[in-house]
């Protein structure tokens, strides 16, 4: 049956999304896709409201923007609603009609600020005094400059690499900041032929993982993933219930942390986000529509310090891999099993919604890459099914953004744990598509018996630095040569799999030694730190002339109930402080050459179509990858499986609402780049009784209403 409590709505259209009754070629789908709009904002009056209304809505923490998630009206109502809103907007806001309660008006100088100081405290706080009651503060600064946060607390910005921050209260989207001298500012084009990504993941912030936030999971014994954690937490009203998650969003990463990432010589962050930032469906226990305001606050901090963001959709309805960081541990129900196709339909809609937001001119400089699906388990899904999904994603994204450099983000596709070989030659001619892989050592299943603490000289790290060079060349070197632009979306200093909950709650490590030695960094000696540092510099793989592009995972790990970080090999922040991560990533240059490890030459420059130049557009040889695929593994023929139909109203991820020092509203877009994208979102077919979307791998009786309409 359908998730409990979900009342099927009546359908005005019988054909489900992606019905197999009519299979369009890629060219056909391009012909019938919506036209491209270069810019499609509603009038700025949409965001204006009178002072009395604004004051009644000022209920969010003072340092937060006021995002909201709106429902997009049906196409036939769009123009009439826009006009009505322009005329009667203040009345609608006052009555709460169609606009969620809780929007807040704020000064722009509060937009990119956090009240946290040098310690992890709440980012909440009282509004700053008006401009007439305090001195005007600087809007930019470099090394040694004083940064004042929204509650008046300050810190001194440290950046020895020529980087500077920028936060203009009257022009917050100028994108003039840069993190260091070798990285272009945000308002200049990133060039994958010459620029190199030195990145870090902000994992565990908006998508919880037991090893990153062990204290939360230790508080609720039996919690193994965010599904079970939120279920237990919601019942614990005495301790705040799910407000504990919002506190985590608010405090786990602060503005000062983002400033320190820029000051460490990095220039990108990878930001995992969950689909429930947009919405949940009945039966899903996740904290819905709450993290988005913190997500865009964090993106605002990245903008302030010149850091580009690789936004990564980390969770998918039904789970794409069965891992705890997909939302629910255990089963794969995305493109697999009875509800595999229906869950994929929801995923496509969320990808569309996020693309609409980040493609706006106000956001595309700071979010130039979108990883659309984290770590799909291709052995369970199937290569044809996954590639078919990727081709459909590409069609949807580029129908929104258009083709060519600067039009929407680079699209990141994970290789599905298959390595680079199946992807050689995939989607030739595609506009700005990147292959993502995660070259971990920890999860290979071996005992990792070779020592890493072998001294402090050139041989520090034993065999491990050389193995890192070889592994990266086998994966990323091969991928660049045979596919094109490639990134390592995740890697770590974890040469073994020691760490509290690293393999999941209740799972033992495979490491052949004593893991206690690797779960408390206070006990590490100079040889251990030197070995880890050499291993880390080899993982940066700086010897290629063109960039290899990598993201450490993650920036930081929370303390366990012991009061220490029990997965120290995985914390970039702790490694910087402790001396086993390079304080300047460029110092890693020459590491692999010094170890006599030959590396595959870089195929630079990349063909122009890879970076949005000549020849970009419809990929070659994709017509055989029809959507939906003919069959779903462990489900059966796609036209016999439950599907959804396009009858629901799509959500819109809304931007901040803020005013400049002159009191005028600032323009952050309206959340929807292409006004001509008026398609409905997936919704249930009337009369169809759906199986459990998160537990449908077993045999299920499919409602005749679902099959009958899916076959039409």
> Per-residue DSSP letters for 153-218?
-EEE---TTS-BEE--TT-TT----BSSTTS--TTS---TTT---EEEE-TTSSS--TTTSHHHHH
Q: How far apart are CA 540 and CA 697, in angstroms?
A: 40
523 C-beta neighbours (distance < 10 Å), count: 10
- CA distances 365 to 194, 223, 599, Å, are 18, 38, 32
> Per-residue DSSP letters for 645-666?
EEEEPPEEE-----B-TTSPBP
Tell me if residue 375 is catalytic: yes
CA 611 and chain centroid, separation: 21
If you ran DSSP here, which 8-state letter would residue 91 be given? Answer: H
Please provide the distance, in angstroms rounded to a whole number, between the alpha carbons at the two ends of the chain. Answer: 21
Asked if 373 contacts 433 with a C-beta cutoff of 8 angstroms, the reply is: no
693 C-beta neighbours (distance < 10 Å), count: 25
- For 478, the token pair is 């091969």
Q: How far apart are CA 291 and CA 598, in angstroms?
A: 45
Per the document, the length of the chain is 712
Q: How far apart are CA 681 and CA 606, in angstroms?
A: 37
Half-sphere exposure of 279 (CA within 13 A, CB side): 20
Which residues, including other chains, have CB under 8 Å from residue 638's CB and lie 6 or more apart?
20, 341, 628, 629, 630, 631, 632
Burial of 83 (C-beta count, 10 Å sphere; 0-12/13-18/19+): exposed
Q: How far apart are CA 226 and CA 324, in angstroms?
A: 7
Asked if 682 contacts 346 with a C-beta cutoff of 8 angstroms, the reply is: yes
Q: How far apart are CA 184 and CA 308, in angstroms?
A: 10
- For 612, the token pair is 């949005």
- For 71, the token pair is 């429902």
Residue 637: beta bridge partners?
631
- For 360, the token pair is 């706006």
Asked if 212 contacts 557 with a C-beta cutoff of 8 angstroms, the reply is: yes
Which residues, including other chains, have CB under 8 Å from residue 343's CB and lie 6 or more apart?
316, 317, 318, 333, 334, 335, 693
Q: How far apart are CA 684 and CA 702, in angstroms?
A: 14
Half-sphere exposure of 345 (CA within 13 A, CB side): 25
Q: How far apart are CA 172 and CA 193, in angstroms?
A: 29
Choose the catalytic residue: 255, 260, 284, 490: 490
- For 385, the token pair is 């099914």
Q: How far apart are CA 41 and CA 15, in angstroms?
A: 31
Q: What angle do CA 40, 41, 46 make, to 5 degrees?
A: 150
Choose the catalytic residue: 375, 392, 519, 566: 375
* Nearest in space to 680 (alpha carbons), one of 712, 644, 708: 644
Helix or strand holding residue 369 (H, E)? strand 369-371
Tell me if residue 490 is catalytic: yes
Q: How far apart are CA 143 and CA 179, in angstroms?
A: 11
Task: Please identify every residue annotated as catalytic.
Answer: 375, 490
């Amino acid at each position: 049956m359908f998730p409990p409590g979900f009342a099927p709505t009546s359908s005005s259209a019988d054909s489900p999304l992606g019905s197999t009754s009519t299979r369009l070629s890629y060219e056909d789908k391009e012909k019938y896709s919506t036209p491209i709009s270069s810019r499609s904002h509603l009038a700025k009056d949409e965001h204006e409201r009178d002072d009395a209304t604004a004051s009644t809505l000022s209920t969010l923490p003072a340092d937060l923007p006021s995002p909201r998630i709106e429902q997009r009206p049906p196409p036939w109502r769009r123009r009439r609603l826009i006009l009505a809103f322009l005329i009667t907007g203040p009345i609608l806001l006052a009555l709460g009609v169609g606009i969620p309660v809780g929007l807040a008006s704020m000064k722009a100088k509060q937009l990119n600020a956090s009240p946290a100081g040098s310690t992890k405290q709440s980012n909440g706080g009282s509004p700053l005094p008006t401009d007439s009651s305090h001195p005007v503060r600087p809007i930019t600064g470099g090394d040694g400059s004083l940064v004042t946060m929204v509650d008046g607390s300050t810190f001194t910005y440290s950046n020895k690499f020529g980087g500077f921050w920028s936060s203009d209260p009257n022009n917050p989207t100028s994108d003039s900041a840069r993190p260091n001298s070798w990285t272009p500012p945000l308002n200049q084009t990133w060039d994958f032929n010459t620029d190199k990504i030195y990145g870090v993941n902000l994992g565990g912030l908006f998508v919880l993982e037991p090893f990153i936030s062990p204290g939360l999971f230790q508080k609720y014994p039996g919690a193994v993933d965010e599904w079970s954690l939120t279920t237990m937490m919601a019942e614990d009203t005495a301790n705040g219930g799910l407000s504990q998650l919002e506190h985590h969003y608010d405090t786990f990463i602060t503005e000062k942390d983002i400033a320190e990432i820029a000051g460490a010589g990095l220039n990108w962050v990878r930001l995992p986000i969950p689909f429930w930032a947009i919405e949940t469906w009945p039966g899903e226990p996740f904290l819905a529509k709450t993290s988005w305001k913190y997500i865009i606050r964090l993106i605002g901090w990245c903008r302030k310090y010149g850091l580009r963001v690789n936004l990564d959709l980390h969770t998918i309805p039904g789970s794409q891999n069965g891992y705890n960081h997909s939302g629910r541990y255990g089963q794969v129900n995305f493109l697999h099993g009875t509800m595999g196709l229906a869950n994929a339909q929801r995923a496509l809609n969320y990808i569309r919604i996020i693309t609409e937001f980040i493609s706006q001119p106000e956001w595309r400089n700071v979010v130039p890459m979108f990883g659309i699906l984290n770590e799909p388990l291709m052995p369970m899904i199937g290569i044809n099914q996954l590639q078919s999904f990727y081709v459909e994603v590409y069609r949807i994204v580029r129908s929104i953004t258009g083709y060519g450099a600067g039009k929407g983000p680079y699209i990141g596709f994970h290789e599905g744990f298959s390595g680079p070989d199946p992807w050689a030659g995939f989607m030739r001619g595609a506009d700005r598509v990147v292959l993502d892989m995660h070259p971990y050592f920890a999860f290979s299943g071996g005992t990792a018996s070779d020592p890493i603490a072998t001294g402090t000289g050139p041989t520090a790290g034993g065999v491990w630095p050389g193995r890192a060079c070889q592994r990266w060349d086998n994966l990323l070197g091969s991928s660049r040569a045979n596919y094109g632009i490639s990134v390592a979306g995740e890697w770590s200093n974890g040469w073994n799999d020691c760490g509290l909950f690293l393999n999941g709650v209740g799972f033992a490590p495979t490491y052949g030694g004593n893991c206690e030695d690797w779960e408390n960094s206070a006990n590490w000696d100079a040889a251990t730190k030197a070995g880890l540092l050499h291993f880390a510099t080899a993982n940066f793989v700086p010897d290629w002339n063109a960039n290899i592009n990598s993201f450490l995972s993650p920036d930081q790990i929370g303390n366990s109930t012991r009061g220490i970080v029990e997965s120290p090999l995985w914390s970039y922040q702790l490694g910087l402080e402790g001396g086993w991560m390079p304080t300047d990533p460029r110092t890693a240059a020459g590491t692999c050459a010094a170890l006599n490890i030959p590396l595959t030459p870089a195929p630079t420059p990349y063909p122009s179509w890879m970076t949005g130049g000549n020849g970009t557009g419809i990929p070659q040889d994709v017509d055989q990858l029809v959507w939906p695929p003919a069959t779903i593994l462990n489900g059966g023929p796609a036209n016999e499986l439950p599907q959804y139909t396009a009858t629901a109203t799509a959500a819109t991820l809304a931007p901040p609402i803020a005013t400049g020092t002159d009191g005028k509203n600032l323009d952050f877009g309206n959340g929807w780049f292409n006004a001509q994208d008026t398609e409905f979102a997936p919704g249930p077919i009337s009369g169809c009784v759906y199986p459990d979307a998160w537990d449908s791998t077993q045999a299920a009786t499919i409602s005749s209403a679902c099959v009958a309409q899916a076959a039409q």
